[in-house]
Structures are given as C-alpha cells and as structure tokens.
Chain A
C-alpha cells in the first residue's frame, strides 16, 4: 500500500483506568478502538498522513488500581514532512510541572540546535489536544549569556495551524530574536499554564476527606522535533502521592516525581502518565467575571467587578457540619476555602464588597504604596461545587491611569485580568466605559481578545457612552498585564451635564415666576 508506505504511522495505545467492577470478568478487555484522524495523502503525496489509533484497554487485576500505560509506536516512513522539523533538534530539554495549586504551571528549558543547512526563524511547540483547550498562556524567553551574565529576551509566541500533525495536536510557534544559523544553538525558557487540568478523583468527597486529583500528561515532551535528552519533574503540593505511572526511569522523592532522563525520542512521542496526589489548595474558579471600568474626567475611575465564584475541586457530598468545621478545622473541610485575596491598585478608595442582597461584612483592606490588598471572605466557606456571587467595587484617582498620547489622543492604561490571586477566570469581560462624547476607541493588548463596542446610558446621558468590551476566556493571574484603550475626547463635553442641570433649574424658576405673575383667573375678582 503506497499510502501506508509514505505516511508516518503513530499508534498510541492508551490505557484507561480500570473499573473496579465485578461485572468485568475478563482480565483484559478491549473496549474501544476508534479511528480518530485520517488525513488521506492520496492526492497530495507531500503532506503527512497519519493513522492514529487509540486503543483503550481496560484491565482488571484483583481490585487493585492498575494503570496501564502506553506503548508508543512511532514509525516514520516518510521524510517529506516538516522541513523545519528536520532542521532543528532539541539537544536537551527539562520540564518542571508545578501541580501544587489548581493552576498547572510548566517550565520548559529547551536547548535547540539547528542541524539543517539554512537559518531557521522560528520553532514550534506542540501540545496534545487535551491540553490545548486548557492552555491559558504560553510565554517564551531566550537566554543569552552564561551563568551570572544571563539576560532574558522575551520572544514572540503565537498559535499556528498545521494541517499535518497527529491527533489534533496544537502548535505554537516561537520566533527567534534572530534566525538561528546552521549549527547554532539557543536556550529557551518556555512557561505555559494549564487550567482545569487537575481532575478530582474521587469525584465527590465528604467534609472530612481531603481532595485527591489526577494529573494527566506525557512522560516525554510532545514535540515535533527530535529530542536527544529530556527530563520531567512534577512538583506536588504534599508528600501524599497515591500513585503515579511508572515509565522507567521514574522515581519520587518528597514532593517531586522525576521522569527521565529519556534519550533520543522521536518527534511526536507521547507517553501518557497519570499522577494521583493530594491537592487541598483552594480551587477558586471564577466562572464569569465582568469588570466595568468607568472613566470620569472629573477625576476618578470607578471599577465594578461582578464575580461568579465556584469551588472547582471535588464535589462536596453529604452533610456540612458547622461544629466539625469550627472545632476540627485541620481535618474538616481541608479542601474548602473561605479567605480570598484581591490585589487592588494603590491609592484605591471607596472600596465596597457586597452581593445582590447587601453588604458582606467579612473583608479587610490594606492600602499600600505599591498595591492595596483586600482580604475578604464569601458569606460561607466554599466546598467543592458550591457557588457564591459577589461584587467588588472601588475607585482610583484618574491621574494614575489616564494619560495623553503624543498625538493628542487620551489613553487609559489599566491592568487586564482578575485581581484575585491564584484564580482561574473561565470567562472574563472587561468593559471600559468611556466618557460621553468620546470617539475612535481602540484597545491595545499584548494578547488576542474578542473586542466589541457597546453603548451605555448613565447619569443624565443623551447620546450614551461608548463601551469598549474586551472578552477573553481562560484567564490566569499571568494575564494581569497592562492594556491600553485609546480614544479622543473634547473637554467641553464635560460641561454638558452641569449645563443641563443648571438650565433645568433655571426653567423651573422662570416657570414659577411666570406662574406667580400671570393671572390665570377667567373672571376678575
């Protein structure tokens, strides 16, 4: 078969968790075999076609939790794939995955070498499809200099679409600061952040239990390049690790699980591993956050933030006993959280914290020169699956955030993202309400967001205020970077509303004056 001969064939047999069910009598049961992706190369012999089979196998071995992991068979029969993929190779890769909070942070240190003949301007990072949808952010830095003279140079990272790669793997391309010449090497630091990647198991826990989660990843780095040597570390929050997939050499010491070093792995190697460990850090997930930033040229910015908070961890099951929660705090409700911290701008004033039924009294504000901190508690502790909604509002002086650009336009320079620390926001909407009469709004952000324009009517508005709506999904604290909204505004519009009020009062007085002086009687007295 010509097709099979030309195409790289990757078969991953992915072991699934064994059900502890007595119904399963066979020791080895083939549950599903499905064809995920066929990219037929019949018409285009140069493209890469992959047959990808995932064979899910369930096993039962005497009730024990057994994890079968995969056999990776990666066969490359074609050499006509990515030209750049063949030009670059990764000499050394180290990956440190921090799973100690519910936001998974992975630090990759890659030493990339150009083994081709022509300079290469960019390289690719690959992510499995399960991760690509939870990927909140990818950042890359190039390291130049050695040891003490290290300097970091931020690099441009953008998502790219490739038609070829296996199983819908997603790609990001990193542009080098200067094209990498043949034979040259560069060291890159890549940070990527995953959300919703810790899956609680058991799914439901009672008040006295602590929360155990799965983290699924690959023992080897998924990459379109050949990796000569690589190591992966997992950092767990506590020493309690229920189990982890063993892919030799793999070992655990304290809070760290080490996979590797592995030598000479082919491109798109994938070795699924599952780590099952305790994680009682607060799984604070804001399902929806709407931040409204209202610019008043009279001297302040009013920020109103509407939160829909939930506990994203293992669902709470059964009773909630206050006496246990209060008296045995250490063992009861270990995975629940009550205190939250919001980092607000310095010189913040008129801070309020309330929900739809009134003020919430459990909050404390510390103001400082560099930042203000609002410590607050929702009305009740949040256990797995519980929700709470609240509103935080505050005001900051305008002169700290509104500037005039060189071309005469004004711009607001404010922080994007969610002020709560260690929190994932599933859907963030930032609304910048410009003063009435503003024109030509444009927003400048370091990453892509959905932009929209709306009109809002506020105090005594006639034409309404332009609202710049910025919407982004899956926001993590690293997104708290400044963004700018440019607009043009004539200061004369500021006087419109005072003038309206003055004239309204004037007419009232004139009308009453006229009423008093005009005799409306038909018959003379």
Chain B
C-alpha cells in the first residue's frame, strides 16, 4: 500500500515522501514479524503441537482434506464421532480455516518444501495475526491516517486478547477470522471513502471469507447495516454509501449461501434480517435523493407524501410477513448462542450445554485489564479523537467499538472482537496525542531557531486526495510514527526539514499548542504507558496464554515437571485397542480422542445433539449397573475419565460432574441435581450423598485411589474422599496414566454365568423352552 507513489523523484519533498513510504513499509514488516514471533512462546516453551480441544478437530479435518481432497471433504460423513449417529463434517463445519491451511500446505508441498500438515496448522494462527495487524493498519489509515494506522497495527500485533486465541498451535477459527473481520471492515471503509465498485466487490469477497471462517460473521452483517442506517439517519447519505452497501449485501448474501454450514440461513434466520431491512431503506433513501435532485422543491413535497404513504403500507406488509416467519420458528429464528448475546441470562436459564462452557460466561473486570490492558484507558480518548472531525469512517469505528464493548460484556469469547476495535481506537488516541505533543515541542523549539533554513511548503505532499477523512494530516502523523520508532539522534537530524510544514499547520490550530515542559512530560508518560503495555503483552504471551493444555508443567524444587498424561493415554488407546472400539468420555475430550487416539467417540465438542450428551451425562451420574447398560447399549467398550485428585489438576471430571448431572437431568428426569448435593453443597467427602458416592463418575475416579496414600486425600477438593474401599462390578481398570490424570476402564463382558445357564438349558431342554429363557436374559 505504501509503495512510493510519487513519480517526480527529483524534488526533495517527493524524496522525503518516498522515504516515508519505505520506512512505513519497513515498520509494517517489523510489526508483522513482531506479531508472528510473540506468538511463538508456546513453541519455544513447550513444543510445536496443536493446543486444547477444538484445534484438534480442525487439525483432523485438515488432515482429511490434505489426504482426500476437497470433494471428499465436502462429502465427508464422519462415522468416528457421535456414534452411532455420525456427523456430516462437510456440511456442519466452517471450512475457512481448514481450506486456508490446506491450501498453504498444498502450495508449500508443490514447491517441494516438505512441511507436515501439523506444522502448517500450528503456524497458521501466527501468520494470520501478522496479516491481521496489516489489515488493522489499512483500516486505521482509512480512518485517521497512516500514523494512527501504524500505532494501531503495533498495538494489535501484541494485544493479549488476540494472542490468547492465536498463539502457535491454537489452530482455531478465530485465528483467521479476526483477520477476515478487520479486512472486511477495511474494505467497507475503503469503498465508503472511494466509492469504488472494485473495492465493493472485494468487500463482498472478504465477507465471504469471513463467513467461511467463523460464525462471528453475523457481527459484520449486523454492524455494517447499523452503520449505514446511522449514516442515513444523521444525514450522511451519499452515493458512496450506496456503493459500499448495496453490492455488499447482494453479493455477500449470495456468497454466504454458498457455504454449506450457512446455506439458506443466510436469508432465513433473524440474524440476517437487519441487513435486508437496511437494504430496502437505503434504496428508498437513494430513490428519494434521486427524485429530489430531479424535481423542484414543490413537486418534491408532493412526491414525499405520496411515497411515504405507499412506503408505510409496504413496510407494514413486510413487517407482518417477518413477524409471521419469526413467530413460526421455535427459537424465534435465533440460535441459542445469538439469543444469549441479546439476553445474557438466556443461556444459563435454558441451555446448560452452552452455559457449561467457560468461554461463554460473561467476563469479569480483571479480564478486561488482562486482555486489553492500557488500551482500556486509551479507548475513550480514541473515541473523542474520532469525533473531531466525525467522518463516515470514524463514525463506523465508533459504532464498532460501542457494539463490541456490549458483546464482550456478554460473552468472554467475544473479547476477541472487541480487541481490534480497542486497538484501533487506542492507535488513533496515541497517534493524536503524539501529534499534539510533538507538534507543540516543535513549535516551541522552532520559534527560537526560525532563520536556520527555509524550505518549501509541504502541506499538499502526501496522498491527500485519497483520504477525504484525514486530508493533509497523514504526512504529519507519519512523521511522528517514524520518530517513535527511530533513535533520538536520527530524530534531531531530520527535525529542521520538517519544521516549516509543521509550523504552517500548527499556525492553523494554535489552540492545541501546549507548553514545552508539559509536552515533554506527557510524551514520556505516554512512552511509559506504551512500555508497560509491551511488558504486559510479552508476559501474557509467555506465561498466561502459551500453555497447550494437553501437556501441563509445574516448576518445583527439582526443576521442571511435565504432566503428559493426556497424550500418554491417547497413545495407549491408539496402539493397544481395536481400531473400531468405541470410547465414552465427557464431551470435552471427544475431539482429542478422535484426533489423537483415532477411536470412535460417543460425544464430542461439537455439541450438536443435546440428548446424546445427556445420555452420556446420565450414564456418568448413574450407579454402575445402570451405567453399564447405557454404555453397552451404545456399543461402548472403554470409558475414559479425567481425574486430577492425585496431582491437583482442577479441571477434571469430578469438578465438571455437576454439569453432567444438569445436562443429563435436563433430558432424563430420574437424574436430579438435588440428589448429588448435600444441603446445596457439592462435596465428595464422607458427607456426600449416597447417590453421589455410588455414581459411576465417583467410582471410576476414585477406584483404588485410597491405596496411593492410605487415606484417599483429594488434592483438588482438599478433602478425604467419602467412600474409600470399593470394588467395581461392571468395569475393569485397563489403563491409568502415570499421574492418574486419565483413567480408562473397559466394560466387563456380558456375564458368563447366564450364558452357561443358557448352555445347560440348551443341552437339557427343547428349543421351545429355550426361547423362553432367552427372553428373561437381560444380557442378550
């Protein structure tokens, strides 16, 4: 973007201009490198491995894609999950991330660079965060010039909230979706600023990529119409707005409908209705403006009354149809996750499966400080800066931040959408502040050394005609950004050359000139603030967000201790069980089991079938025999539980157990949460209820646990367990990992005793009575 544009290299101003462009390209490259490398802590501290849960599924899908090709991928029916239902992967997955990584892998391999699919997947997120920071630069440049753009890009490159979802190995949809989101917004604003149909088409394509990548695309398809509506209401309608919006909706919706997982939802669900409504409104408004231009004011008034009366009738009909459509669907046309966005208490009330996921909870205040740090203080300043002057672009950014603040307050996961907005705002704020302070300093110093050199007027040098939002400001802002990143000596060297241009501008708004000392102090404080932000981000990247969660480490006196129990058990399952065996576990471990152990699971993290999950929850909450029957009916051979009591791993199945009870109880009424609680308290010690002490989860977790220390002290719950010595009647322990974190049990085969009886009967009695005994046999 910032390639030297000036043809006339002879004049010093053009040379300086070109130099600035090259410098900003260099800075952008460095920002990209920063964004990429700050996310490599996970590889350096741990290893190049896929993280957590969902990334394992994406990894598995990518493996399938790279092995079988795109057509097989669209038709993929996965029979290794949700046994016996299976899952249509091609039609239920957002394919953007998978296709992106698959394409990268294909390109790299056709160049004979033998990278494994895993390596490509691990590094997709860091690469795309570099892209995202460049997209942020472009977006902010459209709003407030390239200085703000560079500042925003640098902030986004290391914002902890985004790092948390895009460290190397975090191979999740958000990794590419944030880039797609910012880039779509950039193209929208670019179209808005230029009125170019070329950018409008690109915008629709970027939106298509976003739809492919993440369910969060609904944020775009609601935010842009809102902005268009806002522009119309505040009288900012222009043909550019029409060009920016109308092709986007038409093309974007058509393209979105191409994605199998969205399909007709792109026109049928309520999340998309706002865009169509605004589409109608903008046409009405465009028509009005057109007619207004053609008619005399008197005729126009007549036309207005005519149109308004007809328009009201049409609107009424449309609204009636919409209401009828919406009312006919059970959830009023909104998906559960979307509903919980509008009503934050919706999920916890009605859908325990959504509420049970920690990232669907509302965030706490400390998490704002953790995730965006000092940006929280800079955002208001940025909003103020956007109001002076208010342009189409800056109003969009304001709307973006307001909406994303609300959404992030509902669901902690959407902090991710808020973070780019916060970076853009803070970038603008920082840039404007530096602008004012350095301008003041230059003015104060320049006043004493006026006669040193006189140079040409520079006000109209830069790409001013391109930005109608920030005409003439870009140049100055860019210089400031340069100073920030360059050494002080360099800065002094260039100072005299800049003076005239700055002086001429500062003369225009002398009101902003501050005293020299105050400016210097404020600058230092700002730099300190920035330094604090950088330190915090590096700390967050290194310490807080880099753990892959499948391997845990603890630092103690003897040095680093590694807990690699999950992979130990998955490897065991993968090598020592039959390839068609079914493994039951709580849904959290479904994706990992299919990806790492390559075994069929009953439920996984794609929680599409509540009843199926409730069945597993019920089995875990039932006594041994009932659980055995449930599992046997599901053809399960192994049951996997995660137990942290020996080493103190808090997110184990016993701590998740109440969710199993709740979800199970939601479908099967004989499971009651109250049976598992003693006076409303969840406990596993001797005070626990008999239902709790006899349920399968308790037994599988604590089987022979007492033999480790003689008391059965649970280090997570910090108590001795309630029932210590018991035998399993329907399950056999077949594997327990080194630190007991994963325990795998095998269902005992159907009882021999009864089969023996059948055999005896067979030999003694005739076939007629044999069928009678068979009916009695509960095992067959």
Contacts and interface: CB of A to CB of B under 8 A. Distances in A.
With most chain A CB atoms within 10 A of its CB, the pick from B114, B576, B596, B740 is: B576
Contact of B575 (A320, A388, A462, A516): A388
Nearest to B646: A322
Contacts of A360: 564
A320 B737 contact: no
A380 B704 contact: no
Interface in A456-471: 457-462
B571 A380 contact: yes
A100 B562 CA distance: 35
Contacts of A386: 572, 575-576
Contacts of A318: 732
Nearest to A497: B112
A238 interface: no
Contact of A380 (B708, B733, B737): B737
A319 B747 CA distance: 11
B596 A357 contact: yes
Contacts of B114: 457-459
B736 interface: yes
B49 A461 contact: no
Contacts of A460: 111-113
A217 interface: no
B271 interface: no
A357 B48 CA distance: 10
A112 B49 CA distance: 63
Given A358-B49, A361-B564, A379-B571, A321 B704 contact: yes
A251 interface: no
A379 B551 CA distance: 13
A389 B738 CA distance: 18
B575 A387 contact: yes
Interface residues of B, number: 32
B734 interface: yes
A357 B735 contact: no
B567 A322 contact: no
A459 B111 CA distance: 8
B567 A319 contact: no
With most chain A CB atoms within 10 A of its CB, the pick from B567, B571, B708, B735 is: B571
Interface in A319-378: 319-323, 326-327, 355, 357-362
A451 interface: no
A355 to B, nearest CB: 6
Interface residues of A, number: 30
Nearest to B561: A361
Contact of B736 (A322, A327, A458): A322
Contacts of B733: 319-322
B707 interface: yes
Contacts of A118: none
A266 B576 CA distance: 49
B652 interface: no
B568 interface: yes
A327 B564 contact: no
Given A321-B736, A379-B564, A386-B575, A357 B570 contact: yes
A173 B562 CA distance: 55
Contacts of B732: 318-319
A503 interface: no
A454 interface: no
B570 A320 contact: no
B543 interface: no
Contacts of B665: none
Contacts of A388: 571, 575
A512 interface: yes
A512 B3 contact: yes
A380 B707 contact: no
A320 B3 contact: no
B707 A323 contact: yes
A389 B111 contact: no
Contacts of B735: 320, 322, 380
B195 to A, nearest CB: 17
Nearest to B116: A356
Contacts of B596: 357
Given A357-B571, A359-B49, A322 B734 contact: no
Contacts of A385: 576
B47 interface: yes
With most chain B CB atoms within 10 A of its CB, the pick from A357, A360, A389 is: A357
B562 A380 contact: no
Contacts of A357: 49, 567, 570-571, 596
Interface in B20-53: 47, 49
Given A320-B734, A320-B735, A461-B112, A387 B576 contact: yes
Nearest to B563: A361
Nearest to A355: B571
B91 interface: no
B4 interface: yes
B576 A459 contact: no
Nearest to A516: B3
A151 B303 CA distance: 120
B641 to A, nearest CB: 13
Interface string B510-544: 00000000000000000000000000000000000
A327 B740 CA distance: 13
Contact of B572 (A327, A379, A457, A516): A379
Contacts of B562: 361
Nearest to A512: B3
B304 to A, nearest CB: 39
With most chain B CB atoms within 10 A of its CB, the pick from A321, A460, A462 is: A321
A505 B568 CA distance: 45
Contact of B737 (A322, A359, A387, A512): A322
Contacts of B568: 379-380
B49 A516 contact: no
Interface in B332-365: none
A462 B49 CA distance: 30
A516 B571 contact: no
Interface in B712-763: 732-738, 740
Contact of B740 (A322, A355, A361, A462): A322
Contact of A327 (B4, B567, B707): B707
With most chain B CB atoms within 10 A of its CB, the pick from A320, A388, A460 is: A320
A358 B112 contact: no
Nearest to B743: A322
A379 B114 CA distance: 27
A461 B704 CA distance: 57
Nearest to A326: B708
A323 B704 contact: yes
Contacts of A323: 704, 707-708, 736
Interface string A194-231: 00000000000000000000000000000000000000
A354 B740 CA distance: 22
Contacts of B704: 321, 323
A357 B112 CA distance: 24
Nearest to A458: B114
A388 B47 CA distance: 21
Nearest to B707: A323
A403 B471 CA distance: 69
A362 B567 CA distance: 13
Nearest to A460: B112
A507 to B, nearest CB: 15
B736 A320 contact: yes
Interface string B701-715: 000100110000000
Interface of A: 318-323, 326-327, 355, 357-362, 379-380, 385-389, 457-462, 512, 516
6 contacts: A323-B708, A327-B708, A362-B564, A379-B571, A380-B738, A460-B112
Interface of B: 3-4, 47, 49, 111-114, 550-551, 562, 564, 567-572, 575-576, 596, 704, 707-708, 732-738, 740
Given A319-B733, A387-B576, 16 more contacts: A319-B734, A321-B733, A323-B707, A327-B708, A355-B571, A357-B567, A357-B596, A362-B564, A379-B568, A380-B572, A457-B112, A457-B114, A458-B114, A459-B112, A459-B114, A462-B112
